[in-house]
Amino acid sequence: MNTQQDSGYGYMIVRVTTARGAIPLENAIVTVHNYDPEFDGGRGDVIAVYTTDLSGLTERFALPAPPRELSMKPGNGKSYETYNLSVTKEGYYQQYYANVPVFEGITAVQNADMIPLPDNGQIDNKTIEDNIFFETENPALEAKRTKPSQEE
């Protein structure tokens, strides 16, 4: 159903929960970034910021996406655009979703399951890399993650 209003845009709703999806989290902050290969991890400029409602959902929002016709023939290039999301809420570890695909005319639901901080409120030895989730393959980012150390 490619309507005129869908042309050039895909849509996303972010669902933020905890307890493996059982409990929705209200007032979580979802920040949408464009992809920038020059920035470490690909996180580029902030495009928009949304807050989740009582059901743990953001509003449905539009993001630019290439025409779906690109997927009809091989060799036409990437038929989707990728974005990065960071999800934060007080009392929880920040989650970061890299390369989230957006297709023209499609509404995607991105799940973000937040992990509570320890009871003492202190952040343990988890690093941001422990909370990065790659939604689609990106050879440049994957090479950075799997690059062997210089000591080997």
Per-residue pLDDT of the chain (152 residues; tens, 9 = 90+): 444 455 699 999 999 999 999 999 999 999 999 876 666 555 678 999 999 999 999 999 999 999 988 877 787 778 899 899 999 999 999 999 988 999 999 999 999 999 998 876 566 555 555 566 766 655 444 444 444 444 44
pTM for the full predicted model: 0.75
Domain 4-146, CATH number (from 1.20.1250.20, 3.20.20.390, 2.60.40.10, 3.30.565.10): 2.60.40.10
Chain centroid, CA 127 distance in Å: 18
For the chain, what is the radius of gyration of the CA atoms? 17
The domain ranges of the chain are 4-146
